[in-house]
Amino acid sequence: MALSTILFDMDGTLLDSRTAVVDAVADGLAGAYRHHGLPPAEPDRKLFAACMGLPSDAYFARAFDPETVPRDRRGAFARTFGRLTAAAEVAAIRDGRTALYPGAAETLAFLSERHRLLLFSNAGAVYFRAVIAGHGLERVFADALCLEEALSRRLASDKADMIVAMVENPGRAVVVGDRAGDIEAGHAVGARTVGCRYGFGSPEELQAADWIIDGLPELMALPLA
């Protein structure tokens, strides 16, 4: 019997975040330094990419050099960084500067006829919902949930909990993602997993995945049963 549910991570799995989203993070960081009256620091794009997949609060607490911000101001700085980045991300989506990975639309259309598709993410709610609206993902996903929403609704505190909250039988689900956290979350609840080698994760992060793909269209040929 075919597996009834496939859960997709967003950044690095469906959305190619390497350019427009990373640019928005750089803009948000520059704005945070200005807002707090601090000397600007050069954006570390490798750090931005390395932090992709973290919960939103953790991301903005780690995606800058802590030595550039006084210790007692780092919490407020991270919150400003997150708020300004979200605004820059929404602007990028509105202006058409973000893109899904090649083959995403065709793959999602194919799978949505055979499975119940769900979208879940550690991203903040404003950005998450903007991506869904900007790329018409509501047409193929039966439900979508980000960690900020899950926490506010007391549904879940991490990705494994989110799977349990969204899926009636996690053991018959497949989780598709590009970071170790996606693979670990899936296995923690008995789901099978697909690691996306084209995303932000290293090859080592994905070794435990049940399948590994180099492009989304490969999902259409996997024996998801």
pLDDT band of residue 3 (cuts 50, 70, 90) is low
For the chain, the structural domain boundaries read 5-16+99-221, 20-94
Phi and psi at residue 52, in whole multiples of 5°?
A: -55, 135
Cα 105 to Cα 128: distance, rounded to the nearest angstrom: 18
Instruction: Write the pLDDT tens digit of every residue in 49-74.
Output: 999 999 999 999 999 999 999 999 99
pLDDT score, position 224: 86
User: What SS3 string covers the chain?
Assistant: CCCCEEEECCECCCEECCCHHHHHHHHHHHHHHHHCCCCCCCCCHHHHHHHCCCCHHHHHHHCCCHHHCCHHHHHHHHHHHHHHHHHHHHHHHHCCCCEECCCHHHHHHHHHCCCEEEEEECCCHHHHHHHHHHCCHHHCCCEEEEHHHHHHCCCCCCHHHHHHHHCCCHHHEEEEECCHHHHHHHHHCCCEEEEECCCCCCHHHHCCCCEEECCHHHHHHCCCC
Instruction: Write the pLDDT tens digit of every residue in 29-40.
Output: 999 999 999 999
Q: Which residues are paired to 144 by β-bridges? A: 119
Query: Distance between alpha carbon 204 and the CA centroid of its chain, in Å?
Result: 19
pTM here is 0.95
| Fold for the domain defined by 5-16+99-221 | Rossmann fold (3.40.50)
How would you classify the pairing of strands 99-100 and 15-16? antiparallel
Judge contact between 40 and 64, C-beta under 8 A: no
Nearest to 124, CA basis, from 55, 51, 201: 55
Instruction: Write the pLDDT tens digit of every residue in 106-128.
Output: 999 999 999 999 999 999 999 99
Q: Is the pLDDT confidence value at 1 over 70?
A: no
Average pLDDT for the chain? 97
Q: What percent of the chain has pLDDT over 90?
A: 96
Instruction: Write the pLDDT tens digit of every residue in 135-184.
Output: 999 999 999 999 999 999 999 999 999 999 999 999 999 999 999 999 99
